[in-house]
Structure 1
Amino acid sequence: MTPLPELDLDADRMLEGLRRWVECESPTFDVAAVNRMMSLAAEDLAAMGATVERIDGPAGLGDCLRAAFPHPRKGEPGILIMAHLDTVHPVGTLEKLPFRRDGDRCYGPGILDMKGGTFAALQAVRALIEAGVETKLPVSVLLTCDEEIGSPGTRKLIEAEAAKHKVILVPEPAINGNGVVTGRYAIARFNLAATGRPSHAGASLKEGRSAIREMAGRILAIEDMTDDDCTFSVGVVHGGQWVNCVSTTCQAEALSMAKRQEDLDRGTDRMLALNETREDGTGFAVTLGVVRPVWEPGPGTMRLYALAEEVSATLGATISHGSSGGGSDGNFTGAIGLPTLDGLGLVGGGYHTLGEYITVESLDQRARLMAGLLVEITGEEMGS
């Protein structure tokens, strides 16, 4: 294990830099907001000496960034730090969840998922460069714009870019305290549409058939399909336009998650079997949306985790590992067999809520873990 020199990774100073990122709100569907965040990240990467390429985003979504740091072997297969800069929080969330520190906790929209971990990972690279420490493999970065909606527009980019590298590091939030992720469940999204028959809700209620009522019954039935092997939930519903009209249409989105691909496939079949069109034109339609394949850890990933354990030990810490129910772009790289270590981001809680926070001490801890990994990875030990 190569002893590292003292690295400039002061948590308080990193927190000030992270504040700029958190206060640049970037919800997935707000193209201008995401692009402002990408511009901010591009400036920071360029200031660190990276060559930065801006990639036009998918239709209706923001741009992406590809960056490479100086290295004698630049352009060869190396280490890819992969992250997303979109969040689930709409612009204006800062009014309800302002960036603030309370003891060892710091709050803000997207601070845990996953701006904090991404910022810490890049600070690890910066500190190594400033200390004159050269990694054995070249380091590149891919920052994407649509992970929070399942990466429908960037999956091909992710897989193509990852295939150019030997190792993928993903600074998504830590699990189980200080743990990292070595696998992720399979996830499928579904688009639901109920079709009713309109009528005046006051004068001729019985002549209509409410799409909202249809959807309400289907939601209960769908969520009741949840078992120990496969879960079902409905998280988005839109229906109706006028309260005095029996609704004609109602749309919703559902999510299914399973530890094994065969269980997700079984769940998908059950969902698609709900399609029904009646003679009067009313009915219910289910279409399959974005799917994240199951990622089960292969030998390369587990050797990567073993190396992370060694690095953590030199830092006086211990880490654990496991599979996570939450999806990430690590699903894609892990599923195609690339050595991938996920969950390298910060420790915290409440992500996707108005209580999202990080522990400030994890900024320093996880940045040093990332720095140690970047130095120790040769690529040779990762072969699967």
Structure 2
Amino acid sequence: MDVNTLPLCSDTMLEGLRPWIECESPTYDPVSVSRMVGIACDRLRALGARVEHIPGPPGLGDCARAVFPHPRPEAPGVLVMAHLDTVHPIGTLEKLPFRRKGDFATGPGLCDMKGGTYAAFEAARALAEVGHETPLPIHVLLTSDEEIGTPGTRALIEAEARKHKYVLVPEPGLMGRSSVVTGRYAIARYHLTAHGVASHAGIRLSKGRSAIREMAARILEIEAMTDEDCTYSVGVVHGGKWVNCVSTVCRGEALSMAKRQDDLDRGVARMLGLNQRDEDGSGFEVALSVVRPVWEPNAGTLDLYERTRRIAATMGVTLEHGSAGGGSDANFTGALGIPTLDGLGLDGELVHTLHEYIEVESLAYRARLMAGLMAELS
């Protein structure tokens, strides 16, 4: 299969992405995420796929699974796994509109990871259009909560992945068009609660103990624990209701990340060791939330990379690979030992910011990479 001859056009693909990007879908807005999943399912049906709607976990958007036409649709195959939730709140389009600027395009979730998901669909479409029957059926799993650590869909992901021989994840590329992801660091999330003692901030300030002050001190302590083996960061803080009251509760969320599982496990122990309550009820609590296990490449994953490297070479690209910080749902499938290749999505940068962008030409390029894998995996 010469992927260079496949009917794939970046300009056409970008225009097809417009309704995807203009349907904002932050994780914490399940109605919007479900609407986005519906748009993607409409596209799958238009391409002839059989689609199954999956009601979302409590408080989260819907999910879906699909399989493209194939003589053996129920056989273990190639699973394209993607999330359609984003970190961008409703209204981000006003500041980060879907817009092309020369060789680049912007929009919330365009790079992470709606564009890569759309490119994977187009890869399957292009193969069907030229009459190429893939050796294995191409399956799709769309989920709704990756950006908050996959608390509701991990079991679904693992169960679905176990049915298949390979997993392809069109998350953004690691270092531009010259790389894919073959491993992910381990990540743990935590819920933090600082407890204070109430008093009137104007009349009896000295009688109270501020939960906000406690949280502020703990943030400095937590982030100072960062070293080469494990990083710590606090990204969410909420505290207080009245400025004239000494705060009694302040809540936060923290994250630790490590290249090795043992280092993350030690990091978790350090975080849980911060738990402390005094007789007056003040103090600090840490509760472990969702955890992504470390994913280290096995022989199957490295074989997927070698195949992709050869496909890229036919397009004049020398493809590298490596492990990446920041989690993805590939952590779960890779940790299960299922051959998994991540970072197959679009080339771009500044994801999770108001400057997120893609390189437009990567739409066709990345679709060709995925089509080449779909065409030869058996």
Common fold: TM-score over 0.5: yes
- Displacement after TM superposition at 1:5 (Å): 7.4
The residue aligned with 2:113 is 114
The one-letter amino acid of 2:35's match is R
Residue in structure 1 matched with residue 257 of structure 2 by the alignment = 257
Using the aligned pairs only, state the percent identity.
67
TM-score (norm 1): 0.97
Where in structure 2 are the equivalents of 1:118-267 lying within 5 Å?
118-178=117-177, 179-267=179-267
Q: Does 1:41 align with 2:45?
A: no
Describe the SS at the equivalent of 1:66.
strand
**Letter in structure 2 aligned against 1:45:** L
Q: Which runs of 5+ in 2 are unaligned?
A: none
Distance 1:92 1:133 in 2: 42
Segment drifting more, 309-318 vs 260-269 = 309-318
Residue aligning to 1:345: 345
Distance 1:206 1:46, change over 3 A: same
Q: Per-residue CA shift, 1:234-268, capped at 9, x if unaligned?
A: 00000000111100100000000000000000000
- Alpha-carbon deviation of 1:4? 4.4
Q: Look up the match of 1:18.
A: 17
Q: Which runs of 5+ in 1 are unaligned?
A: 379-384
Judge conservation of contact 2:172–2:344 (CA < 8 Å) in 1: yes
Change beyond 3 A, Cα 1:4–1:204? closer
Classify the secondary structure of the residue corresponding to 1:338: coil
Q: CA deviation at 1:314?
A: 1.4
CA drift at 1:73: 1.5
- Structure 2 length normalisation: TM-score? 0.99
CA displacement 1:206-256 (0-9 Å, x = unmatched): 111000000000000000000000000000000000111100100000000
Q: How much has 1:119 moved relative to structure 2? A: 0.5
State yes or no: 1:310 paired with 2:326: no
> Matches of 1:39 and 1:171 in 2, distance apart?
19
Output one character per residue of 1:6-30: Cα deviation in whole Å (capped at 9) or x when no partner: 3221111100011110111000010
> What CA distance in whole angstroms lies between the structure 2 residues aligned with 1:4 and 1:144?
29
Name the structure 1 match of 2:78: 79
In 1, Cα distance between equivalents of 2:2 and 2:128: 15
The Cα shift of 1:173 comes to 0.3
Query: 1: CA distance between counterparts of 2:335 and 2:168?
Result: 14
Deviation larger for 313-322 or 101-110: 313-322
- Aligned partner of 2:276 in structure 1 is 276
Alignment: residue pair count: 377
Instruction: Report the counterpart of residue 376 of structure 1 in structure 2.
Output: 376
- Root mean square deviation, CA, Å: 0.8
- How far does the alpha carbon of each residue in 1:167-209 deviate from its partner, in whole angstroms, 9 at most, with x for none? 0000000011221000000000000000001111111111110
Name the residue aligned to 1:381. Answer: none
